[in-house]
Amino acid sequence: MTKKHVDIWEKCLKVIRDNIPYQSFKTWFEPIEPVKLEGNVLTIQVPSQFFYEWLEEHYINLLKKTIRRELGPTGRLEYSVIMDSAYSESKPYAVKIPTHDKRATKNNPVNMPIDLNPTKTRDIPNPFIIPGLKKIKVESQLVETYSFENFVEGDCNRLARSAGWAIAENPGKTAFNPLLIYSNVGLGKTHLVHAIGLRVKNNFPEKTVLYVKTNEFVNQYIESVRNNNQNDFIHFYQMIDVLIMDDIQFVAGKEKTQDVFFHIFNHLHQNNKQLVLTSDKPPVELKGMEPRLLSRFKWGLAADLQVPDLETRIAILQNKLYKDGIEMPYEVIEYLAYSITTNIREMEGALISILAQSTLNKKAITLELAKQMIDKFVKNTTREISIDYIQKVVCDYFNLPLEAINSKTRKREIVQARQLAMFFSKKHTKSSLATIGLHCGNKDHATVLHACRTVNNLLETDKRFRVYVEEIDKKLKL
């Protein structure tokens, strides 16, 4: 039998789901677990302090209204924040939402700090310190153009960007230390960590910030062993205030390097210095790592960068063109954003190819030129037809505005276009029925299944409709 606290939270989720964007609901509410219901107090479990702080900052009013709707005017919500297993001695931390309507103030601290390390550790002499070695000037290795101003925010990166911004405002003193940003290649990890470092330097000129690629770190360590000056190497890194290490997965399988990094990590963390790491996988999927190191990666926040949606891809291209002072027809930008969907770096590379072709051959940038260049570019990479691109081709074919597919209208021509978009999405993508429905007017999987059956039936009975399908299919494969 379903427990009452689960029932109450499910009812709350139904209301919340209808009041916020789907991606926000998936990110911030799906991971929450209801724990217990005592009287009019519902306790929910959240994955981290950062999660709790984000909910309090962005969804406090929605949560209050929803809880009071289900539990009455005196209904309250408490959070149980998950702690890392390394801190298993600490007691669960609960925070109450007050019953009045005012937000947190200095006299009413809703967002109370959570002590992530409540057990006092004894001071251990650092064996790597070399007496008399003074702090030296360190070149940060940061790229000035990789700033927050040039980083386009979207649903795909909002969590990581928000955490990075918070770190840059208060390095070493937030709950997300370390911050580990992970994603596939070409989605902006390196740009974001450079942006964090640059903002720290701007906000705190006295702090020493260093960006280093992990393979460079490994080579430096090997060189220090060869020259018998490992102590100098280690102490140099222990003097850094904000250490940014890119592609941390490259220390996998290197036991000695991991051991050295373990000591550097501990020293920096214990002294409230900030660590920012990137990886191509989340911590749980990193192979060849020592458990004690993986455990430390989980002390702060692991945030992923997802594939950007169409609007974000267009915004990225427009931002780059604006910064470079270049004008380009919107239809060309749109075609490029539709054609390359899974890698920002590749998309920007295709943009540069179009600009180079136009400049060298003194040709105007037209949609035809863009198609020639992008088709060549895409043939040399893995092309994946996206749901966005399918919708674009279907709408262009029937001369309909793109937003029509996502509208609630029941006009015959729009319903038919929406059904065809669902049909081709099922045929040409690996997306689930639920995902296809979400992108086609927020429909459920049953609607997508019905659309596919309708299209198949019309293919057998309507010759004109069959021509539509064949012509659209050819356009998708061009």
The model's pLDDT over 398-423, given as tens digits with 9 standing for 90+, comes to 888 888 888 888 888 889 999 999 99
Distance of CA 117 to the CA centre of its chain: 27
* For residue 103, pLDDT beyond 80: no
- Report d(CA 232, CA 132) in Å as an integer: 12
The model's pLDDT over 308-326, given as tens digits with 9 standing for 90+, comes to 887 888 888 888 888 778 8
Question: 211 falls in which pLDDT band (50, 70, 90)?
Answer: very high
Map out the domains of the chain with their CATH numbers.
4-96 (3.30.300.180), 158-304 (3.40.50.300), 310-379 (1.10.8.60), 387-477 (1.10.1750.10)
* For residue 301, pLDDT beyond 90: no
Residue 2: predicted pLDDT:
53
- Report d(CA 110, CA 108) in Å as an integer: 6
Residue 132: predicted pLDDT:
41
CB neighbourhood size of 173 (10 A): 12
Instruction: Please answer whether residues 276 and 193 qualify as being in contact, where contact means their C-beta atoms are separated by less than 8 angstroms.
Output: yes
Residue 384: predicted pLDDT:
58
Residue 378: predicted pLDDT:
58
How many angstroms separate the first and last alpha carbons of the chain?
A: 54
Question: 164 falls in which pLDDT band (50, 70, 90)?
Answer: very high
- Angle, nearest 10°, between helix axes 214-226 and 255-270? 110
* For residue 250, pLDDT beyond 80: yes
The conformation of residue 85, written as its DSSP 8-state character, comes to G
Instruction: Please answer whether residues 455 and 436 qualify as being in contact, where contact means their C-beta atoms are separated by less than 8 angstroms.
Output: no
What is the pLDDT averaged over residues 429-453?
84
pTM as predicted: 0.53
Q: Name the helix (H) or strand (E) containing 312.
A: helix 310-323
Strands 76-81 and 93-96: antiparallel
Residue 341: predicted pLDDT:
73
Most confident range (mean pLDDT) of 6-10, 24-28, 122-126, 353-357 is 6-10
Question: 85 falls in which pLDDT band (50, 70, 90)?
Answer: very low
Residue 405: predicted pLDDT:
82
How much of the chain exceeds pLDDT 90, in percent? 13
* For residue 464, pLDDT beyond 80: yes
Residue 377: predicted pLDDT:
59
Question: 134 falls in which pLDDT band (50, 70, 90)?
Answer: very low
Question: 141 falls in which pLDDT band (50, 70, 90)?
Answer: confident
Mean pLDDT of the chain: 79
The model's pLDDT over 327-378, given as tens digits with 9 standing for 90+, comes to 888 888 888 887 777 778 878 888 888 888 777 777 788 887 777 777 665 5
Residue 382: predicted pLDDT:
45
CB neighbourhood size of 159 (10 A): 20
CA distances from 248 to 124, 138, 215, 221, 281 (A): 27, 21, 8, 14, 10
CA nearest neighbour of 163 among 192, 206, 203? 192
- Report d(CA 380, CA 131) in Å as an integer: 56
**Which string of DSSP letters, residue by residue, matches 221-276?**
HHHHHHTT-HHHHHHHHHT-SEEEEE-GGGGTT-HHHHHHHHHHHHHHHHTT-EEE
CA distances from 305 to 121, 160, 187, 219, 401 (A): 35, 7, 7, 28, 30
Q: DSSP strand E in 266-405: where?
A: 274-279, 301-304
Phi, psi of 220 (to 5 degrees): -65, -40
The model's pLDDT over 17-65, given as tens digits with 9 standing for 90+, comes to 888 877 778 878 888 989 999 888 899 988 777 677 778 778 888 888 8
What is the pLDDT averaged over residues 186-197?
90
Residue 83: predicted pLDDT:
53
Which residue type does 413 have? E
The conformation of residue 148, written as its DSSP 8-state character, comes to S
CA nearest neighbour of 439 among 333, 302, 321, 341? 341
Which stretch of 241-255, 274-288, 325-339 has the lowest confidence by average pLDDT? 325-339
